Structure 1
Amino acid sequence: MTPPEPAPQDARIQLSAHARALSEQSDRYAVTLESLLATLRSNRLEDRAARETAIHIAATALVQLRTDSDERRDDLLEPVVGAFARLKNDLKPLVRFGQLEVEFVEPPENGRALPGDVAQAARAIVRNAVLSFTNTAEAQRVRIHWDCDGLNLLIGIRDDGKGELRAHDDTLRPIAEHVSALGGKLEVDSTPGWGTELGITIPLDPPPTPTPLHELTNLSDREKQVLDCLREGLRNAQIAQHLDISEHTVKFHISKLLRKTGTTNRAQLISQLR
Structure 2
Amino acid sequence: MEHPNTALLEAVADLATAPLMEIAHRLREAASPYWESTALVIFTEDCTGRPQKKSGAEAIISRVSIAELDAIRATLPADADAGTWRGEAAFGGGIRQILAMTSPSNALLVLSDPQPIPGSDTGPDPHWLLNYLWRLAAERIREKVADAPPSYLMESRAASAERLRVTAELVDQHSTTLETLLAALRSPALADAAARTAATDVAAKALVGLRTLSDRTTDLVEEPVASAFQRLREDLRPLMSFSGIDVQFIEPPVNGRALPGEVAHAARALVRGLVLAMVDQEGVRRVRTQWDCDGVNLLINVRDDGPGELSASAPAMARLVQRVEALNGSMGVDVMPGWGADVAVTLPLDPPARPLAEVADWNLGEREVEVLQLLAAGQRNRGIAAKLHISENTVKFHLRNLYRKIGASSRTEAMALAHSNGLR
The TM-score normalised by the length of structure 1 is 0.51
- 1:57 match: none
Shift of 1:172: 1.3
Distance of aligned partners of 1:162 and 1:150 in 2 relative to their CA distance in 1, 3 Å threshold: same
Kindly provide the amino acid, as one letter, of the partner of residue 104 in structure 2. Answer: V
- 1:63 match: 104
Q: Deviating runs (4+, > 4 A) in structure 1?
A: 16-19, 65-74, 212-215
- Which among 342, 355, 365 is matched to residue 197 of structure 1? 342
- Find the residue that maps to 2:104 and give its secondary structure: helix
Map of 1:206-225 to 2, 5 A cutoff? 206-212=351-357
Larger-Rg structure: 2
Instruction: Give the stretch that moved more between structures: 122-131 or 206-215.
Output: 206-215
- Find the residue that maps to 2:334 and give its secondary structure: strand
Give me the whole-angstrom Cα distance separating, in 2, the residues matched to 1:17 and 1:150.
31
Deviation by residue 1:188-243 (Cα, 9 ceiling, x = unmatched): 1111000000010000001123545997xxxxxxxxxxxxxxxxxxxxxxxxxxxx
Distance of aligned partners of 1:190 and 1:135 in 2 relative to their CA distance in 1, 3 Å threshold: closer
Does residue 186 of the first structure (1) align with residue 331 of the second (2)?
yes
- 2:406 match: none
Give me the whole-angstrom Cα distance separating, in 2, the residues matched to 1:18 and 1:212.
28
Kindly provide the amino acid, as one letter, of the partner of residue 122 in structure 1. Answer: A
Shift of 1:17: 7.9
Q: Which ranges of structure 1 fall in alignment gaps of 5 or more residues?
A: 1-15, 26-61, 216-274
- Which among 295, 300, 312 is matched to residue 150 of structure 1? 295
The TM-score normalised by the length of structure 2 is 0.34
Give me the whole-angstrom Cα distance separating, in 1, the residues matched to 2:353 and 2:20.
17
Q: Which ranges of structure 2 fall in alignment gaps of 5 or more residues?
A: 1-18, 23-45, 48-102, 109-137, 146-151, 161-220, 362-424
- 1:103 match: 248
Map of 1:24-63 to 2, 5 A cutoff? 63=104
Shift of 1:139: 1.8
Q: Is the contact between residue 99 and residue 134 of structure 1 (CA under 8 Å) also seen in structure 2?
A: no
- 1:255 match: none
Give me the whole-angstrom Cα distance separating, in 2, the residues matched to 1:142 and 1:116.
25
- 2:269 match: 124
Give me the whole-angstrom Cα distance separating, in 2, the residues matched to 1:160 and 1:64.
35
Instruction: Give the stretch that moved more between structures: 202-211 or 80-89.
Output: 202-211
- Find the residue that maps to 1:111 and give its secondary structure: coil
Give me the whole-angstrom Cα distance separating, in 1, the residues matched to 2:283 and 2:277.
9
Give me the whole-angstrom Cα distance separating, in 1, the residues matched to 2:301 and 2:270.
11
Between Structure 1 and Structure 2, how many residues are aligned? 161
Shift of 1:131: 1.7
- Find the residue that maps to 1:155 and give its secondary structure: strand
Q: Is the contact between residue 128 and residue 174 of structure 1 (CA under 8 Å) also seen in structure 2?
A: no
Give me the whole-angstrom Cα distance separating, in 1, the residues matched to 2:355 and 2:309.
35
Shift of 1:65: 6.9
Shift of 1:135: 3.4
**Percent of aligned positions that are identical:** 44
Shift of 1:122: 0.1
Shift of 1:185: 0.8
CA RMSD of aligned residues (A): 3.4
- Find the residue that maps to 1:63 and give its secondary structure: coil
Q: Is the contact between residue 304 and residue 341 of structure 2 (CA under 8 Å) also seen in structure 1?
A: yes
- Find the residue that maps to 1:110 and give its secondary structure: coil
Shift of 1:66: 4.5
Give me the whole-angstrom Cα distance separating, in 2, the residues matched to 1:175 and 1:138.
23
- Find the residue that maps to 1:147 and give its secondary structure: strand
Deviation by residue 1:2-52 (Cα, 9 ceiling, x = unmatched): xxxxxxxxxxxxxx9869xxxx99xxxxxxxxxxxxxxxxxxxxxxxxxxx
Give me the whole-angstrom Cα distance separating, in 1, the residues matched to 2:237 and 2:285.
16
Q: Is the contact between residue 157 and residue 199 of structure 1 (CA under 8 Å) also seen in structure 2?
A: yes
Shift of 1:129: 1.0
Give me the whole-angstrom Cα distance separating, in 1, the residues matched to 2:312 and 2:330.
11
Shift of 1:169: 3.1
Give me the whole-angstrom Cα distance separating, in 2, the residues matched to 1:179 and 1:17.
20
Give me the whole-angstrom Cα distance separating, in 2, the residues matched to 1:100 and 1:211.
47
Give me the whole-angstrom Cα distance separating, in 2, the residues matched to 1:77 and 1:66.
18
- Which among 230, 237, 241 is matched to residue 85 of structure 1? 230
Give me the whole-angstrom Cα distance separating, in 2, the residues matched to 1:122 and 1:210.
26
